[in-house]
Amino acid sequence: QVQLVESGGGLVQAGGSLRLSCAASRSLFRFNYMGWYRQAPGKQRELVARMTSGSTTNYADSVKDRFTISRDNAKNTVALQMNSLKPEDTAVYYCNAGRTSTRGGLLEYDYWGQGTQVTVSS
């Protein structure tokens, strides 16, 4: 079992910045995808940023050029740097990591953190 623990959430004014961190209990090398999702009350969980094996990154259109996902394999952490925050960024942010088969793309395992609250005031 792998545990993912998020930290860094909080309250910030519009235009400010926050850096979220996700600490994994095991090496990141076991994953071939890692990312951040968010969910606002009454809305579906949505992808914010994802990094796959080979360091390919994808971002939601709403956060492109403002958010940056990165990883530190030595420290077993995945970070999300959030700049120019907007009130619509308010949500619970979840860390996600897993692995799919390199042959057929079938899911092998998938893990989620408990979430951290980000609130952006206007």
Q: pLDDT per residue over 6-56, tens digit each?
A: 999 999 999 999 999 999 998 988 899 999 999 999 999 999 999 998 889
Residue 115 CB-half CA count within 13 A: 12
84: amino acid identity, one letter: S
Q: pLDDT per residue over 74-113, tens digit each?
A: 999 999 999 999 999 999 999 999 999 888 889 999 999 9
Torsion region of 8: left, alpha or beta (phi above 0 gives left; psi -120 to 50 gives alpha): left
